[in-house]
Amino acid sequence: MDYLYCPDLKNRVVQMLPFTTLLSIDKESPQPIYLQIANNVVNIIREGQIKPGTMLPGTRELAKLLNIHRKTVIAAYDELYAQSWIDVIPRKGAMIAQNLPDLKPQRWNEPRLSSYGEFLTVPFYPMDTQTPVSSAPVLRLPEFIIDEGYPDSRLAPLDLLNREYRNRAKQAAARKWLPGTLAGGSPLLREALVSYLLESRGLNIQTQHTMVTHGAQMSIYIAASLLLQAGDHVIVGDPSYFLANKVFEKLGARLIKVPVDAHGMDMDAVEQACKKHKVNVLYVIPHHHHPTTVTLSPERRMRLLELSRRFDFAIIEDDYDYEFHYSSAPYLPLASGQHEGRVIYIGSFSKSIASSVRIGFMIAPADFIRQAIQLRLMIDLRGDHILEDALAVLIQNGDVGRYLKKANKAYFDRLNNICTSLQELKGIIDFERPSGGMAIWARFNKDYPLAKVADAAAAKGLYISRGFQSHGNLRDGNSIRMGFAAMNIGEMNAAIEILSKVLKAKI
């Protein structure tokens, strides 16, 4: 790295540049101060007033110079770093990057050196290009993000998990494991799951019924791959979790979509579908349906189990959202009922602890798990067994339980808060209060097309989804999941204020 060769530049700038003038701040501006600073630095770089390789003043110094809080300067530098305008040199500070984002030569287009400009001319899987996935890295982030329902990692015991991870990583046992024994997950975590799932949701299982995966999505992928062959029929809700639908479609299965109302999937429609087709699999999200957040009622759960026995189909029970309930206790999973091994039960700690903790699980008959592990070996060998061990310890010593209690309480407050705020947008946004989970299903009045709302919000620093058009249900085309868990009440109020302004500007 070039920049390592100019340590002598340190602090030079502090004496040279009149930062109080260059980085003038307008405290009345709607633009946050940290962004003003970042943008000003970008401007003086562009204008050549400050050169690549130059050190910026330390955060303490600049905070003093500008008479603002040091955290604001840190946020500004983070932003500059995220946009690649500065490099951060450990124990030295922030330096203007040698390769500036919009100035560097396009060296990768030289044909003599690289051949990745050409496209491989081989058949691809046909996929929906509508899916809102960007393959280019997005380096700039909006100030507020209304996600589709993720936990707030600030509440999660990530420090404890990290400490346990460090402790275990240093132990010799962490390096000792037999090849092939970890594809199903760390033995400790599988053991911990057995008691955790018994205590939290009445699943009476042994370790051979458990498997750790890289998140609920991988469980869905593996279960579906084992259960489905091309031409098979899968019953899903209408609408349903679109990435599960994509997995089933990729495997060549035919989707039978049944309506989802306030009590979950319509079981009469399921029965009719079973009479018409040989149904192989039904995919259900009993708490809380994705995207509409409804809970499958106990009566329908009983009926579903009865139908699965009568028509002999397997159930993929995606219970990713079991942990968060506010109005009442959760219903026990289908997997705890009389299903004679027909239920594949799926859960995830990515949804209950933090989206970065990529650990999910699958509960199924032992022979199914054995084959699932074989498939998992092919997909990605195994997970991070040290992290899995560390999570097992946190489950067993009660840290996870304590965190979930705390998070339930916080999210209950956040749900109350967002419901109150959204009441004031009645007529524009329509919703039913969910009994649990981390999102509200918000149906926008069709006079407020979400794509336009999202664009207008983005300009004001708020990200919201452009809508669930890809769910194949026009009725829900102008709706989104509004996650209320990841932001605290202050942040959410600021986000809703931006949204209100956008909506009331009558776009």
301-340: which residues touch a second copy (CB under 8 A)? 312, 314, 336-340
Residues 183-212 that bind a second copy (CB under 8 A): 183-184, 187, 190-191, 194-195, 202-209
Which CB, 24 or 114, lies closer to a second copy?
114
**Is the separation of the CB atoms in 426 and 500 below 8 Å?**
no
Q: Exactly one of 10, 22, 70, 148 binds a second copy (CB under 8 A); which one? A: 148
Tell the smallest beta-carbon distance from residue 486 to a second copy (Å): 7
- For position 341 contacting a second copy by CB under 8 A, the verdict is yes
Q: Exactly one of 36, 54, 213, 478 binds a second copy (CB under 8 A); which one? A: 213
Which CB, 179 or 427, lies closer to a second copy?
179
Q: Exactly one of 35, 174, 269, 494 binds a second copy (CB under 8 A); which one? A: 174
Which CB, 18 or 117, lies closer to a second copy?
117
Question: Among candidates 197, 254, 119, which has minimal Cα distance to 396?
Answer: 197
Residues 274-293 that bind a second copy (CB under 8 A): 280
Which CB, 19 or 385, lies closer to a second copy?
385
Which CB, 143 or 266, lies closer to a second copy?
143
**Is the separation of the CB atoms in 135 and 125 below 8 Å?**
no
Residues 1-40 that bind a second copy (CB under 8 A): 1, 4
Tell the smallest beta-carbon distance from residue 504 to a second copy (Å): 25
List the Cα angle 323/329/331 in 5-degree steps. Answer: 80
Tell the smallest beta-carbon distance from residue 15 to a second copy (Å): 26
Residue type, 438: M
Q: Whole-angstrom Cα distance, residue 88 to residue 98?
A: 12
**Is the separation of the CB atoms in 157 and 403 below 8 Å?**
yes
**Is the separation of the CB atoms in 408 and 325 below 8 Å?**
yes
Q: Exactly one of 373, 457, 485, 495 binds a second copy (CB under 8 A); which one? A: 373
Q: Under 8 Å CB-to-CB from 31, ≥6 apart: which residues? A: 39
Residues 390-449 that bind a second copy (CB under 8 A): 393, 396-398
- For position 130 contacting a second copy by CB under 8 A, the verdict is no
- For position 121 contacting a second copy by CB under 8 A, the verdict is yes
Which CB, 219 or 473, lies closer to a second copy?
219
Judged by CB under 8 A, which stretch of 242-250, 258-266, 406-414, 438-446 contacts a second copy?
A: 242-250
Q: Under 8 Å CB-to-CB from 436, ≥6 apart: which residues? A: 287, 288, 295, 321, 324, 325, 326, 327, 330
Interface characters, 64-83, with a second copy (x: CB under 8 A): -----------x--x---x-
DSSP-assigned beta bridge partners for residue 109 = none
- For position 41 contacting a second copy by CB under 8 A, the verdict is no
Report phi then psi at 30, rounded to 5.
Answer: -70, -15
Q: Whole-angstrom Cα distance, residue 285 to residue 294?
A: 9
End-to-end CA distance of the chain: 48
| Residue 165, CA atoms < 13 Å, CB-side half-sphere | 13
